[in-house]
Amino acid sequence: MKTKQEEYILAHTLTTRAAFLEIYNRTLPAGYPRASSEILERFRAAHPALFKRGGGWSVALHRKRLMDWMSFRHNLT
């Protein structure tokens, strides 16, 4: 089991799109649509300002924003 500090570090670390996608889909609440690489690229294109910090994906920075963005776009999946 991870400690709170390890979870915090993991959430705030910039990671690859593939790693973020795996974490995002694994931790989603039931009923939320799953993401794909294509959806992540569309999100990135729609929100370039969120990727100025090195271009990586961060659970802390991107997860909720992606969930909100996807909830308004039912035609993504």
* Structure confidence at residue 77 (pLDDT): 54
- Tell whether 77 is covered by a domain: no
- Tell whether 23 is covered by a domain: yes
Residue 47's closest CA among 21, 74, 66?
66
**Residue 71 region, left (φ>0) first, then alpha (ψ -120 to 50), else beta?**
alpha
* Structure confidence at residue 32 (pLDDT): 87
> In this structure, what token pair is assigned to residue 7?
């979870």
- Determine which of 21-25, 62-66, 71-75 has the lowest per-residue pLDDT on average: 71-75
Number of structural domains, the chain?
1
| pLDDT per residue as tens digits for the range 23-57 | 999 989 888 889 999 999 999 999 999 998 778 99
- For 46, the domain range is 4-71
